[in-house]
Amino acid sequence: MIKAVIFDLDGVIVSTDNFHYQAWKHIADKEGIHFDELINNRLRGVSRMDSLDIILENSHKKYKEMDKIRFANEKNSVYGDFLSSLTSNDILPGVKELIALLKAKDIRLGVGSSSRNCKKILTLIGLHETFDVVIDGNDISRSKPDSEVFDKVAKKLGVEPEECLVIEDAIAGIEAAVNAGMMSFALNDAKKSPLATYKGNNVIEIASLL
């Protein structure tokens, strides 16, 4: 029985992939490192510093920790400029309808995101008071596919892992849900994962599982 639904943020509630892509591209171009949409796909659900390490795999240079921190900060500043244009109109189709339905059925609502910009984004799109629990990149030390983010959401919600359904757009996120012992609903890229419990094109399809 589903007692809680845990939403990933980027790619599930709002689509900021292109902002991440443009911001990382800005850094890669400046450093002369090859970066394309295929590499960008590997960054879904992955923390900022781990994303940078994936991008730097294509460089011949050996970067110092100090340089990496500078790149990550610059990327985040470019990304932050893009984010400022976000409004509630950017909430992905089906999300508001699903939230209303879950609230009507007394199902608890959580967010489990790798992003350190999570609370800022929820505020910009007007969903900062919607969820019972929000755990993000600031609260965890191990990023997806580790289960830490989802473990913490379930613990704070006071529900058992097997009572949770995670909604994810990233393969790493589906793996994190499996590692946490939770059910999962896969969207977009995450549908490639054979580990997903359910797959769909719009989160409102979850209504038929309740």
Of 82, 116, 124, 112, nearest in space to 6 by CA: 112
Binding residue for ligand B16, selected from 5, 55, 117, 182, defined by CB under 6 A: 117
- Burial letters for 4-18: b for 16+ Cβ neighbours within 10 Å, e otherwise? bbbbbbbbbbbebbe
Of 139, 59, 14, nearest in space to 151 by CA: 139
* Binding to ligand B16 in span 141-180, by CB under 6 A: 170
Q: Does 10 bind ligand B16 (CB under 6 A)?
A: yes
Choice among 8, 136, 151, 169 that is catalytic: 8
Binding residue for ligand B16, selected from 4, 27, 35, 44, defined by CB under 6 A: 44
Nearer Cβ to ligand B16, position 48 or 152?
A: 48
Nearer Cβ to ligand B16, position 96 or 116?
A: 116
Query: Which of Mg ion, ligand B16, none binds 40 (CB below 5-8 Å, type-dependent)?
Result: none
Which of 28-36, 43-51, 55-63, 180-188 is the region at the interface with ligand B16 (rule: CB under 6 A)?
43-51
Distances (CA, A) of 150 to 54, 55, 192: 23, 26, 21
**Cα separation of the two ends of the chain:** 8
Active-site residue, 10 included: yes
DSSP 3-state assignment of 99? helix
Query: Which two tokens mark 173?
Result: 């996120």
Nearer Cβ to ligand B16, position 46 or 183?
A: 46
Query: Which of Mg ion, ligand B16, none binds 55 (CB below 5-8 Å, type-dependent)?
Result: none
Pairing of strands 133-135, 4-7: unpaired
The C-alpha atoms of residue 69 and residue 48 are separated, in whole angstroms, by 10
What stretches of 43-85 show up as alpha helix (H) in DSSP?
Answer: 48-56, 65-83
Active-site residue, 8 included: yes
Binding residue for ligand B16, selected from 5, 6, 35, 51, defined by CB under 6 A: 51
Which of 4-12, 87-95, 150-158, 201-209 is the region at the interface with ligand B16 (rule: CB under 6 A)?
4-12
The C-alpha atoms of residue 36 and residue 55 are separated, in whole angstroms, by 10
Residue ranges in contact with Mg ion by CB under 5 A:
8, 10-11, 45, 169-170
Query: Which of Mg ion, ligand B16, none binds 51 (CB below 5-8 Å, type-dependent)?
Result: ligand B16
Nearer Cβ to ligand B16, position 11 or 161?
A: 11
Catalytic residues: 8, 10
